[in-house]
Structure 1
Amino acid sequence: MRVLGIEGTAWAASAALHDTERDETFIESDPYEPDSGGIHPREAAEHMSEAIPRVVETVLERAEATSGEQSPPIDAVAFSRGPGLGPCLRIVGTAARALAGALDVPLVGVNHMVAHLEIGRHESGFDSPVCLNASGANAHLLGYHNGRYRVLGETMDTGVGNAIDKFTRHVGWTHPGGPKVERAAADGEYIDLPYTVKGMDFSFSGIMSAAKQAADDGEAVEDICFSLQEHVFGMLTEVAERALSLTGTDELVLGGGVGQNRRLREMLASMCEERGAEFYAPDPRFLRDNAGMIAVLGAKMCAAGDTVPIDESAIDPNFRPDQVPVTWRGDAESVARAVDDDGAVRGAEATVEFHGERVVKRRVPKAYRHPELDARLRRERTVAEARLTSEARRAGVPTPLVRDVDVREATITFQRVGEADLAATLDADAVADVGRSLASLHRVGIVHGDPTTRNVRVGESRTFLIDFGLGFHTGHVEDHAMDLHVFEQSIEGTAADPDPLLEAFEAGYAETGGDDVLARLRTVESRGRYR
């Protein structure tokens, strides 16, 4: 099968030819480069209207020259249906419809973000990996489960590339800012900046505000760029490790244009090596926005019969990856794997050893993180976990007793509680109990910060909350709602039948928790990128 793909979600006008028999992909791209500032939607659309016909013509000529006696020279046309800038997407959609109609071949509408994931899976040969998508307007973790790609974690404000571009515009640099930050960072030194991780979600607004303020205060721009990379990419690597720990998979792929950054790839490779996991980053031509990934996924979709009539092929600027029915994979496949609880357990940030009725948890140094940042996080989280675990217990929330704390060694000794993690024994009664516990926790002004199914232990008659390292004191309804959001994401990404569990969890919370928190949860859910 030979599929012509067309990409143009924001800045890259691109066309490609993918031959499934030869597994060869030819790509022709013409990127939009603004004279100043960031991407201007009107200028980007004008560029698309001029460049898309040129790149499509080049690829068509290639198809005709290599088609032999095949007529037409392609079997299908695939295009980026979204997410992206509406004016750009409309030009791409119009070109794809016209070409498919003229050649009388099937039309395939591709989700741009799923294409970033699938090109990594295609090139790596991995079975069912976690994917970290790090692109301009997006940053999220995806895993395949129950017939769709589930969002395990994502940015709660802006995409990673756009966040970096906001800083570079502030200091007067032109788009794209990422490569300029990478070059400047080579001569920089470490300074402290905010670091915001909430379960497997993350936020860039605070760190970007701090970076701009540091520039205004006279900090060397090289030092700010160095530290931006260490903090932002450290956050992305940490949440990727949390996703590997939650799902139990040992495969990670990287997607998106920011993935071209050498430091990010180094961090992810180091983390995976420490965990004994496999890591794959596609060739840079497949990381940046490109039509090759559109053509590759378009071929898989076309082979599965997943085509779209021209009159039903409207673009969708807010097309989320978890809205896509994954027709080209088997329903039985899943990123979720069984995790053995016996003996020593390696979590996302610590090793846990069971010694009879005691559990020893040690936050191990992370080779991928800058030593100063790593020491800061290990110290802060050890202190927070010991303090909040005890405070929660005194407030009536089931948690283990804290037996000993060694802040210098980032080690805590706990009472052993429960028989297994909730991830291994999901049922409605248990998740309802978690809802009640979080409601009790929130009533006394404590947020857990990372209440996933791996951070709940299940005993004979009830559940126990563990791992308060990301917790803090707050009475803010937004932070309480984020706790619920993190827990529900972990259910949706791993449970065979999540809906009854989510209903039971929210019912348990509603018994004593605030209606305002549940209402805010709906707002938090709607705030994800392109929802």
Structure 2
Amino acid sequence: MRVLGIEGTAWAASAAVYDNETDDVFIETDPYQPESGGIHPREAAEHMREAIPSVVETALSAATGPIDAVAFSRGPGLGPCLRVVGTAARALAQSLDVSLVGVNHMVAHLEIGRHRSGFDSPVCLNVSGANAHVLGYRNGRYRVLGETMDTGAGNAIDKFTRHVGWTHPGGPKVEEAANDGEYVDLPYVVKGMDFSFSGIMSAAKQAYDDGVPVEDVSRGLQETMFAMLTEVSERALSLTGRDELVVGGGVAQNERLQEMLREMADQRGANLHVPDPRFLGDNAGMIAVLGAMMAAAGETVAVEDSGIDADYRPDQVPVTWRPGEPPAPGGDRSDEIRGAEAVVTVEDGLVTKRRVPKTYRHPALDERLRRERTVEEARLTHDARRAGVPTPVLRDVDVRESTLVVEFVGERDLRDAVGTTRVQSVGEHLATIHGEGIVHGDPTTRNVRVDGPRTYLIDFGLGYYSRDVEDHAMDLHVFEQSLRGTADEPEPLVSAFEGAYADAGQDAVLDQLRAIEGRGRYQ
């Protein structure tokens, strides 16, 4: 099967031909280059109208036989650009009398990595201009395990570079400047597997305005943003029990980000695949490859039903073209367990948790995070227990060694024993600690332990004290994302969890949860 793919979600007017018998991919791309500032949707769409015919012609001339299907990027992306590409794809499919396939751009980033790596069921980190998220496969769909709560990774960097007067795209310029800079401390915001770049952008701009050399700010920007992305990737691996990671998106071309991800994977014993550079940025090759998989599975679309969707979420796509996922490792107790940020040993009813140094992070940043999280976990575990929520009893704390000793609780993680009664207990527990001004920070199904009738909250390392409704709602958001990433039928569990929280907590928190969901990059 030969598939013509057309990509045009934002800046790249691209066409490709993929032959699934030879696994050859020919790609022709004409990028949009704004004269100043960032991407202007109207100008980008004009570029698409001018460039798409020529890149398609070039791609077709490289085909070694007839085209069997036309695939196009249906979304997410800039509406004016998507409409140009959709129109071109429909016209080509009709003129060639072949099938039409509408592809989710973000799923294509994941699938090209899975296809090229040969991995069975990897976690995927996508980092592009407008987007940043972590995806995992569960029960026939790709689930958003974590995502930016404000702006995409590339757009965040571009905001800083526009502030200092650099032209688009800013990523390569920051990467070059950072090579000559000294690390400066900037805000680090990770909430479960979600993250935020707005604070770090404001701080970076202010540091530059205050006279900090732009090379130093660029170094701090890279070290902080990419450490956040690497950490949430490791958290996703830990949550899902997977040991394979692929990356996608234009920002993933950054050598420092690749280095961090590689160090994390090596330290964890996981496998990392970084696709060829031509498959990292927006490109039609990934559209054509996924289009061939979908066409073979019968996932074609009639012309009249082929409208674009600028907010097309990856978890809206039924994944029918791939086999079921292999089982994840179970939650059986062992003497040593490696979590996302710590090594845990169990002996004589006690758990020793040591936050190991993360070599991918800058040493100063790593030392600060391990120290602060150890102190907060000790305080919040004690205070939550005093409020009436089951938590481990704290036995010892060594801040210098970033080590805690607590009693062993539960028979297994909630991830491995999820059920309605259990998630209702979590809703009640979160409502209780929120009433005391405590935010857990990372209430995933791996940070809840269960045995018999009891449900325990553990690992308050990302927690803090706050009575802000937004912070409490983020706890709910993190837990629900983890349910969707680890439970076969998550929606009834989500409803039960929210019902229990509503009975014990504040309605304002649930209202704010809806607002947070609306801010997601793919909502």
| TM-score, scaled relative to structure 2 | 0.99
Matches within 5 A, 1:382-401: 382-401=374-393
Out of 153, 164, 172, the position equivalent to 2:157 is 164
CA deviation after TM superposition for structure 1 residue 507, in Å: 2.1
Out of 185, 196, 207, the position equivalent to 1:192 is 185
What's 1:70 paired with?
none
The 2-side partners of 1:237 and 1:335 are apart by 24
CA deviation after TM superposition for structure 1 residue 336, in Å: 4.6
Amino acid paired to 1:182: E
What's 2:94 paired with?
101
Match status 1:285 vs 2:278: yes
Match status 1:136 vs 2:129: yes
Deviations 1:118-148 (CA, angstroms, capped at 9, x unpaired) = 0000000000000000011000011111111
Maintained 8 Å contact 1:129/1:335 = no
What's 1:264 paired with?
257
CA deviation after TM superposition for structure 1 residue 503, in Å: 2.1
CA deviation after TM superposition for structure 1 residue 357, in Å: 1.8
The 2-side partners of 1:216 and 1:335 are apart by 52
The 2-side partners of 1:341 and 1:169 are apart by 51
Aligned CA-pair RMSD: 1.0
What's 1:354 paired with?
346
Matches within 5 A, 1:57-76: 57-63=57-63, 66-67=64-65, 73-76=66-69
CA deviation after TM superposition for structure 1 residue 340, in Å: 3.6
Matches within 5 A, 1:492-531: 492-531=484-523
Deviations 1:364-393 (CA, angstroms, capped at 9, x unpaired) = 000111000000000000000001111111
What's 1:212 paired with?
205
What's 1:476 paired with?
468
Amino acid paired to 2:125: L
Maintained 8 Å contact 1:336/1:494 = no
Amino acid paired to 1:455: N
Report the 3-state secondary structure (helix = DSSP H, G, I; strand = E; otherwise coil) of the residue aligned with 2:18.
strand
Out of 476, 481, 485, the position equivalent to 1:489 is 481
What's 1:425 paired with?
417
The 2-side partners of 1:202 and 1:108 are apart by 33
Maintained 8 Å contact 2:17/2:26 = yes
Out of 303, 313, 316, the position equivalent to 1:310 is 303
Structure 2's unaligned 5+ residue stretches are none
What's 2:268 paired with?
275
Structure 1's unaligned 5+ residue stretches are 68-72
The 2-side partners of 1:291 and 1:340 are apart by 44
What's 1:175 paired with?
168
Match status 1:405 vs 2:410: no
Maintained 8 Å contact 1:449/1:472 = yes
> Deviation above 3 Å: which 4+ runs of structure 1?
334-337
Match status 1:13 vs 2:13: yes
CA deviation after TM superposition for structure 1 residue 459, in Å: 2.4
Report the 3-state secondary structure (helix = DSSP H, G, I; strand = E; otherwise coil) of the residue aligned with 1:493.
helix
CA deviation after TM superposition for structure 1 residue 335, in Å: 7.6
Maintained 8 Å contact 1:420/1:458 = yes
The 1-side partners of 2:91 and 2:302 are apart by 12
What's 1:324 paired with?
317
Maintained 8 Å contact 1:108/1:306 = yes
Maintained 8 Å contact 1:143/1:335 = no
Overall identity of the aligned pairs, in %: 72
The 2-side partners of 1:53 and 1:503 are apart by 48
What's 1:252 paired with?
245
Report the 3-state secondary structure (helix = DSSP H, G, I; strand = E; otherwise coil) of the residue aligned with 1:413.
strand
What's 2:105 paired with?
112
